[in-house]
Every structure is written in C-alpha cells, then in structure tokens.
C-alpha cells in the first residue's frame, strides 16, 4: 500500500495561482483566503518558495493550510483521518502532473517515495 510523504525539491503544491484552484473559498476561511492570496507572487508561485532551491523559506512557520495533517484535511476538506493518505497522494499526483508533467522526474521520485506499485 502506498503511504504519502512529501518529497524534497518538488514544491508543486507551492504553485498557488488561484486560477488553478477555483474552489479555494470552499475550504479556506475568509481570513485564510486573504492570507493565501497575499502569498501568491506575480508568477503564481508562493512568495515564500525559493524556486532555485525548491524549498519553503517559512516551512516551520507555514500557514495551517500548507500542512498535510489529518486534522487540517478533516477541517478543510471533510476528509476522515483514515482517508487522508489516499487523498494526499491524489492531491500530490495532481499538483506534480500539473506543474512538471505526468512522467517527470518529480513524479517518478514521488511514486518511489510513497512505495507505489503504480507503473509510470
């Protein structure tokens, strides 16, 4: 069974362009939405994401909506903790595919990291 984990040097989820996420208001509070939008750079990437190193410059202090944790996913998306793993994997796959492509190095690394039997 695949088990979700974040991979280093990816950052696909840090592309915050609201045009790619039209349902933001459905799972973010008005205050969170305001914070989210304030983090979107001109190029659609989070202003706290260093594209050169592909790292978050505020990782330890990142907002709640940037955290992949059972209680956050339950609060934001109504996902039961038992379903979080599969939901997080699907979210990452979608983000990685959108940013880097279906057969990208990032996708291959992600599938290897989670122990997926998915053949690319």
Domain range spanning residue 83?
12-114
**Taking the chain, what is the end-to-end CA distance rounded to the nearest angstrom?**
16
Residue 2 lies in a domain: no
pLDDT value of residue 120: 53
pLDDT at 68: 95
Stretch 19-40: mean pLDDT: 96
With bands split at pLDDT 50, 70 and 90, how would you rate the model's confidence at 118? low
Q: Are 2 and 116 in contact (CB under 8 A)?
A: yes
Assigned domain for 29 exists? yes
- Count of structural domains within the chain: 1
Interval 37-51 mean pLDDT? 97
Q: Is residue 119 part of a domain?
A: no
109 touches 10 (CB < 8 A): yes
Statement: residue 96 has pLDDT above 70: yes
Confidence bin at 55 (pLDDT 50/70/90) = very high
Whether residue 115 contacts residue 2, with contact meaning beta carbons closer than 8 Å, is answered with: yes
The answer as to whether 62 is a domain residue is yes
24 assigned to some structural domain: yes
What does pLDDT average to over the chain?
94
pLDDT at 50 over 90: yes
Of all residues in the chain, the percent with pLDDT exceeding 90 is 93
Is the pLDDT at 45 greater than 60, yes or no? yes
- Alpha carbons within 13 angstroms on the beta-carbon side of residue 104 total 16
Going by the DSSP 8-state scheme, the letter that residue 55 receives in this structure is E
Q: Confirm whether 5 is domain-assigned.
A: no
Q: What is the pLDDT of residue 117?
A: 65
Q: Is residue 36 part of a domain?
A: yes
Checking if the pLDDT of 65 tops 60, the result is yes
């Amino acid at each position: 069974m695949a088990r979700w984990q974040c991979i280093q040097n990816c950052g696909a989820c840090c592309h915050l362009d609201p045009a790619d996420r039209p349902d933001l208001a459905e799972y973010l509070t008005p205050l969170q939405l305001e914070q989210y939008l304030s983090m979107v750079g001109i190029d659609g990437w989070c202003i706290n994401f260093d594209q050169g190193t592909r790292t978050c410059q505020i990782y330890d202090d990142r907002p709640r909506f940037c955290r992949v944790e059972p209680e956050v996913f339950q609060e934001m998306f109504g996902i039961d903790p038992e379903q979080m793993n599969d939901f997080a994997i699907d979210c990452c796959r979608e983000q990685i595919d959108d940013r880097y492509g279906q057969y990208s190095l990032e996708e291959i690394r992600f599938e290897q990291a989670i122990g997926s039997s998915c053949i690319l």
